[in-house]
Structure 1
């Protein structure tokens, strides 16, 4: 894999499970077992990067547990605690029309229908009812529901979003 590809943080290793090298994972995905779709993960912590291959994985309750090739005991597994899990963006499944990965929306410039730049998408929040764009810019922080009522257009090619959102909202 090339160094130019975009890696997306998808969770982190939160602890060990048992004595045979199994790890507990905190997944930042809609479904915790989605990470099992990717056979190779990049782990990153304190400037150090490791590539690991998934040997096995399972969901126990709401917790994802995985085993990497070559990590066969608790001490080896414990040394991976705190690493961020990254997946190459190019390996994500294609989206349906009007569906977007959060990783693709972060960093986009958001303007309103009048052409005023509201800022840049810094993050998204789940509210239960819908996702919300966290936009930061010259006019402060704006929380814009990511629903068709407020989002006029998402232009992935130009990295822009047009929203029906006034400055005083």
Structure 2
């Protein structure tokens, strides 16, 4: 598992976009899925804007509530009670759970605080993105700036970039 400090502000460009992710995943014959909290399905939505997304995207789980995180994704209830949903271990459990629930090779998850108010002691812009796949797992802690829309937009972009990057690392290993 790897971790990174902070991420760029929403206005700074990311690496891979949804088109590159779809091309990479379909070329490699791998399937992908999402588990989304603060992004509310926006990662999956961004992927399906790309023609040919059905060649790799199996589905997504919008797990906005703790109940869905536990019931559908298998995130341990004691973990959620102890640390809240805004936590790297929760993000990783969500990604692992999406792999199982959706039967995909790779899954990406998002959890955090989009605002407008802090949540469970975490400031607006605190986001965790995790990827789980056969080639490994990674979690990033993002510290984003901007309003709710900007935080969500940057989270979506980073999730897609991170998923494609992990798939690419595995393909080139």
TM range (shorter): under 0.3
Which has the larger Rg? 1
Q: Which has the higher helix share?
A: 2
Q: Which has the higher strand share?
A: 1
Higher relative contact order (CA 8 A, sep 6+): 2
